[in-house]
Amino acid sequence: MNALSERISRLIALGGPIAISDYMALAMHDRALGYYSTRDPLGPTGDFITAPEISQTFGELLALWCIEQWRNQGAPDRVRLIELGPGRGTLMKDFLRAADIVPEFRGAVDITLVESNPVLQKLQKENIAGTRAGIAWRRELEPQLFDRPVFVLANEFFDALPVRQFVRARNGWHERMVGLDAAGSLAFVNAPFAVDHRVPASLKDSALGAVYEVSDAAQSLMRMIASGIANLGGAALVIDYGYDVPSLSSTLSAVRAHARADPLESPGEADLSAHVDFGALSAVARSEGAAVFGPTSQGAFLHGLGIGVRAEALGREKDDETRARIRSEVNRLIAPDQMGELFKALSVLPKSAVRPSGF
Ligand code: SAH
């Protein structure tokens, strides 16, 4: 049992089982021992790898996408560019290099990186800030940032937001929580009382054992973003693994050193995540008056933005080995049996927007 696990067990012994979302928040964000407070989870020695770390084309194409939306909205001269959970800063670095070819856009944006992890904030500063003035950091997304058109990027961010789970039992839906087993170890337990009102009416009659997941954190962030975009313009691009229709099973998972782990085993030492409910995010965005396009598969999205052409340009006048490497990196992003199908892209735009490229 690690130190954080002991702390959480004591909390439960004193106050009773806690929601899975509270467990996730502690495991990931505890100031001293949380996973995202203490380390760089990415990179070769880390726990997982993401699209921008695989290929520079990812950030470059996202820049072209944003510039297209900015132009479609009349190229406003004061806008914000916000990235949620920028990791090592690689996406933003590639984005800015590509955006440099449109100086009017570069001149119009104030950049904010929203990052709760101090280790990663430092890495981001080293990676991008040296060469660029005008980048601000925040620990969380604040409503005051939505004072003008805002372009929001979120790659593998929403999956890191805590979820709650509700399980269909014989007498209704019960919250699945984190409690203690007879040996005093962390274990999943069902709350004693049914809370059917937490589950959408359409799912009420699901089979026994069905699990409904909901991320209140994800929905309230999307509410803030979509209402800003609906009112003042801008665009959001959310790319992540997820589903449009709930799978009715638990998608909570823990990953450590590129391998699956037990989510309750060593809190703070493994990355916890859940699949993103794109259907729920779309519904929230529409209810704020924004237009939603997607979700579409990452493969189709990147293909639509011309990833093939970009890869070819990168490989021009390079040796065979480099060309093969570029091709295999791009393949990893778009192939259906790699990241192409599991990962999806969702865009949020003002009500009057035309269909954006890639959707
Ligand atoms: N977008 C990056 C990193 C993905 S990992 C990439 O694609 O490589 C998730 C990122 O979100 C990390 O930077 C992590 O520190 C950050 N993060 C997770 N939860 C957060 C929260 N609640 N607030 C702000 N940042 C968060």
Name the band, by pLDDT with cuts 50, 70 and 90, for residue 38. confident
What's the CA-to-centroid distance between 316 and ligand 1, angstroms? 34
The CB density around residue 256, as the number of other CB atoms within 10 Å, is 18
Pocket flag, ligand 1, residue 115 (CB < 6 Å): yes
Mean pLDDT over the full length of the chain: 95
What's the CA-to-centroid distance between 85 and ligand 1, angstroms? 3
Ligand 1: which of 115, 139, 332 to mutate, most ligand atoms within 8 Å of CB? 115
- Give DSSP secondary structure letters for 166-199: EEEETTEEEEEEEEE-TTS-EEEEEEEEE-GGGS
Pocket flag, ligand 1, residue 343 (CB < 6 Å): no
Average pLDDT over residues 6-27: 97
Alpha-carbon radius of gyration of the chain = 21
Positive or negative, the CA dihedral 123, 129, 131, 132 is: positive
Name the band, by pLDDT with cuts 50, 70 and 90, for residue 43. low
Ligand 1: which of 28, 90, 117, 161 to mutate, most ligand atoms within 8 Å of CB? 117
Main-chain dihedrals φ then ψ at residue 45, nearest 5 degrees: -95, 5
| Tens-digit pLDDT profile for residues 131-178 | 566 799 999 999 999 999 999 999 999 999 999 999 999 999 999 999
Check pLDDT > 90 for residue 275: yes
Separation between Cα atoms, residue 345 and residue 296, nearest integer Å = 5
Residue ranges covered by each domain of the chain: 35-162+214-349
Average pLDDT over residues 17-39: 94
Name the band, by pLDDT with cuts 50, 70 and 90, for residue 297. very high
Measured from the Cα of 36, ligand 1's closest atom is 15
What's the CA-to-centroid distance between 80 and ligand 1, angstroms? 19
Check pLDDT > 90 for residue 39: no
Separation between Cα atoms, residue 157 and residue 276, nearest integer Å = 10
Give me the CATH code for the 35-162+214-349 domain, please.
3.40.50.12710
Contact in structure between 272 and 27 (CB atoms under 8 Å): yes
Pocket flag, ligand 1, residue 228 (CB < 6 Å): no
Separation between Cα atoms, residue 246 and residue 344, nearest integer Å = 15
User: Hey, what amino acid is at 229?
Assistant: I
Pocket flag, ligand 1, residue 27 (CB < 6 Å): no
- Specify the pLDDT at position 26: 97
| Tens-digit pLDDT profile for residues 176-227 | 999 999 999 999 999 999 999 999 999 989 999 999 999 999 999 999 999 9
Ligand 1: which of 56, 93, 116 to mutate, most ligand atoms within 8 Å of CB? 116
Separation between Cα atoms, residue 354 and residue 329, nearest integer Å = 31
Pocket flag, ligand 1, residue 162 (CB < 6 Å): no
User: Hey, what amino acid is at 190?
Assistant: N
**Token digits for 265?**
């085993």
Pocket flag, ligand 1, residue 160 (CB < 6 Å): yes
Measured from the Cα of 139, ligand 1's closest atom is 24
Check pLDDT > 90 for residue 258: no
